[in-house]
Structure 1
């Protein structure tokens, strides 16, 4: 692949990730439009044409024409409510906002399904990559996004009858966005010398992709119908399909071993696994060169005799099984921490509009803050690369008298990586706790700070997870651990829908106690850096600095055993 084509593939992959990967995370911008159109609102109206359900924390005002029992069609009522929503109430009048509990709950269920497939499809895509090409995954993603836009547009043409297509549209959007993000993350594995910063740019584009729905909301508020907007967005995804078909010719650079089925995801340029014989020979050479004189006490007496010594690996250097890695406290604590965080983030996104409605009586003010929050999603473009710099800046500082070389240099880098990981993990936990504290305060101005904290925490999830699994676990388990991590956290994130039902039911729209519980659970995230520090202190010496175990294989002069 030429240089210009290489730059085009990398640049277009970032742009396409920004446009199509994580749009569902901008649900707070799309849901008011769907509410206004009347999607999934079949149970919201009684025979008289009036809303059958009302909320205690929203006020509904009807004219005299609608209170005398006259039958009014659903389309007329939606038209009236749409005109009311677009204008602020007059002096002395309450807020003119129609709020239907069952409609909000149905929309939240559809969002829960779509977000589950958005984050939980990474492991199936890893398995699928052993059978299909990376370009095919990209094309599948573009096709699914186009189909989701068609279903959403078809649903919006007649919401009372076609609302059932919305969950399927969001599921297709989630799987398609996952395919786009996954194929972009896999590019460094197919294009060498990309660099470690590129995956962070992909994650940044994924985090900022929610801004697309904010642009859709702005266009809709300016009077552009939703159906043309959605169809135009689907047409853009078709161009992504064509781009991957003609430009993503990456498969001839892959060896036969790379096409074999393996549950592995590599974000950085990695070496091909050496054969067992080469590993054994290389280890023996390193052991004889750097560890023989430091490990054997009576070396002079042993070297004076003619004997052949066969060296064994230390017991701690054997490759652990995947089950052992899954049962380590590091993986369990981090999995619990990210499960709580992802569930909290999804709940916050889905209930954001309800919190804004509760904080103010003016619909236009709440809508303004919602659009502002959507624009702040672009902060993800800067948060993820910054976190990458904090995690992966491994330059060794030359100090007088300290010049690590060889295995000592590798060990020193691992120690530096663990230190940086502990610092970043601790800072992220403090930021999430600050996010929880701000959410407890019912103030629109402070909610801007909470939303900024939420964006940084969401952008740091994938970066911290990949760094933790890369540093603390065997490289053969990296892809498996990451895939299992995404599936389990996605399953836990399904709990946000029961929490939303609790919010719109017994809690009457007040999320205070839900945020308190999440804040208390998030304090457990401090256990991860604390455990890493304790483990680092317990293992001050690297595996290669341990004594080399040996046994006499063949004695030529004296048959007596000699011990060291």
Structure 2
């Protein structure tokens, strides 16, 4: 592959990851469009008095906390004047859907989002298993095809929402699977294109985190007066272009991918001296294995005279610890629990953001309320672009997480490895502690009932979400055996995605007994997230024990000069 085609493959992979990988994380921008179109709203017209509930839903909860709403609106007046720049329009400029708020519709849409986001994360382990039977280009083509199918089903659903709303969950599942295939194939590129910069995987994660902006762009275009059908069709056509680009450009060789799993014995014995002197004799030399050994081995007499047949045995490999030992370690269990809680919290925050903004704005009827909620929702989507900078920053902080052995004696290599691992654990603990601090700040700001302060949660949300994959991969590479990295990461994503299904019951609790107030749910997540401080503490304790063990070893003095024995002959 030439350098120009190589750069094109790497660059187009990043752009395609940004466009198609994590769009479901921009659910707060897509769900208002679906609500307005009446998707999954088949239970909203059964009760004649439901419209009154839609208009007054959760208003009583925030009335006591926001008595001076007029002052809040005046403080936001300068921001609201910029709403036309973001494509926001007044409520009367477009025909409204079934109503301002329908509880059952919000719950149905949240269930569809939960299922789609589960497939977006939970398919990483099946994709790892699928890589043993298919090529990376085929995997990316499957991702592009799934995204195209999801766009077609979404268009089909929006053309007649009362009778075709059932296609929305399948569209979100296809969107999640396609985005997972795109992300996974982009992360696998450095294995097929050696020499890629070490920061490239972090750029892929950055594009995945910033991909939530795509639904925000779709929402802005939709608010400008264009129908949703042509917008989604154009987006699906872009995914077809990704399919063609993969088919034409991704001519990758997979022969290097199996070198770590196979053992091959190859004899590369060439008689260069003989070939240079006599070409005819050189041809005969290439055909005769015995002559090759005679010309290349100094001790040929001892080998060829005593043993006619040479047996090549597989070298002894150090025994790999069983995977069960890594799975049962406190580090893996604690980190898996903390990441599962964090991902469930993030999904709940994204799915309930619009309800949270509605409550914080006081549910005042009129145009100002609609525009202020829409503006902050679009601002949340625009701030997802910060992921493009957060992921490379974490990669720089964790840059020394890979162990690099230098050629030399075994004892020296072991000493270097132990010293480097101690330094790596120290760096990892510092970054992990920094992430815990950001999580605590995110949870504390979520508890503050202020609409303007919630902008800080938008920023902290994208930083915390971006750090999840970076810290997890660094932890598994640094602490655990190298042969367990893929298995641990796959099991980690599957279990974590299974636990994220709990965010839908939490959403039902939010729209039911809690009356739209997420204070207690955020407080519970914050309390559970504090348990993640045990991971760096445990790593530091193990590091200190290992450091004391290394320092307590005996030191032996080996003189540089050795005595030579002299033979004494009798006179």
Q: Please list the CA deviations of residues 49-98 of structure 1 after superposition, one character each: whole Å capped at 9, or x if unmatched.
A: 96496463259xxxxxxxxxxxxxxxxxxxxxxxxx95369xxxxxx961
Residue 446 of structure 1: CA displacement? 1.1
Partner of 1:42: 42
Give distance in 2, aligned partners of 1:244 and 1:170.
23
Partner of 1:180: 182
* Among 527, 532, 538, the residue aligned to 2:534: 527
Partner of 1:538: 545
Any residues of structure 2 matched to 1:44-193 within 5 Å, and which? 44-46=44-46, 51=51, 54=54, 56-57=57-58, 87=90, 98-193=100-195
Cα 1:524–1:230 change in 2 (3 A) is same
Partner of 2:71: none
Pick which of 108-117 and 406-415 moved more: 406-415
Cα pair 1:411 1:542 within 8 Å, conserved = no
Give distance in 1, aligned partners of 2:450 and 2:511.
20
Cα pair 1:58 1:97 within 8 Å, conserved = no
Give distance in 2, aligned partners of 1:212 and 1:22.
9
Cα pair 1:46 1:52 within 8 Å, conserved = no
Residue 101 of structure 1: CA displacement? 0.2
Q: Please list the CA deviations of residues 189-218 of structure 1 after superposition, one character each: whole Å capped at 9, or x if unmatched.
A: 111011220000000000000000000000
Partner of 2:343: 342
Residue 90 of structure 2 aligns to a residue in which SS? Answer: coil
Question: What root-mean-square deviation, in Å, do the aligned CA atoms of Structure 1 and Structure 2 show?
Answer: 2.7
Structure 1 stretches lacking a partner, 5+ long: 60-84, 90-95, 259-271, 278-312, 397-403, 549-564
Residue 408 of structure 1: CA displacement? 2.8
Residue 417 of structure 1: CA displacement? 1.2
Cα 1:101–1:50 change in 2 (3 A) is closer
Any residues of structure 2 matched to 1:354-503 within 5 Å, and which? 354-360=355-361, 361=364, 362-393=369-400, 406-503=413-510
Q: Please list the CA deviations of residues 164-201 of structure 1 after superposition, one character each: whole Å capped at 9, or x if unmatched.
A: 00000000000000000000000011110112200000
Report the TM-score, using the length of structure 2 for normalisation: 0.77
Q: Please list the CA deviations of residues 473-514 of structure 1 after superposition, one character each: whole Å capped at 9, or x if unmatched.
A: 111100000000000000010000000000000000000000
Residue 257 of structure 1 aligns to a residue in which SS? Answer: coil
Residue 410 of structure 1: CA displacement? 2.7
Cα pair 1:17 1:206 within 8 Å, conserved = yes
Cα 1:161–1:474 change in 2 (3 A) is same
Residue 8 of structure 1 aligns to a residue in which SS? Answer: helix
Does residue 352 (structure 1) correspond to residue 353 (structure 2)? The answer is yes
Residue 411 of structure 1: CA displacement? 2.5
Residue 547 of structure 2 aligns to a residue in which SS? Answer: coil
Give distance in 1, aligned partners of 2:446 and 2:33.
25
Cα pair 2:192 2:256 within 8 Å, conserved = no
Residue 395 of structure 1: CA displacement? 11
Partner of 1:25: 25
Structure 2 stretches lacking a partner, 5+ long: 61-87, 93-97, 266-315, 404-410, 556-571
Cα pair 2:135 2:254 within 8 Å, conserved = no
Give distance in 2, aligned partners of 1:238 and 1:21.
14
Partner of 1:401: none
Residue 413 of structure 1: CA displacement? 2.0
Residue 407 of structure 1: CA displacement? 3.3
Cα pair 1:58 1:99 within 8 Å, conserved = no
Cα pair 1:392 1:417 within 8 Å, conserved = no
Cα pair 2:41 2:162 within 8 Å, conserved = yes
Cα pair 2:89 2:224 within 8 Å, conserved = no
Give distance in 1, aligned partners of 2:460 and 2:257.
45
Report the TM-score, using the length of structure 1 for normalisation: 0.77
Give distance in 2, aligned partners of 1:543 and 1:179.
44
Task: Say how many residue pairs are matched.
Answer: 460
Give distance in 1, aligned partners of 2:171 and 2:402.
47
Give distance in 2, aligned partners of 1:273 and 1:413.
27
Residue 445 of structure 1 aligns to a residue in which SS? Answer: coil
Q: Please list the CA deviations of residues 438-480 of structure 1 after superposition, one character each: whole Å capped at 9, or x if unmatched.
A: 0001111111111111100100000000000000011110000
Cα 1:192–1:519 change in 2 (3 A) is same
Q: Please list the CA deviations of residues 290-345 of structure 1 after superposition, one character each: whole Å capped at 9, or x if unmatched.
A: xxxxxxxxxxxxxxxxxxxxxxx9xxx85210000000000000000100000000
* Among 508, 514, 530, the residue aligned to 2:515: 508
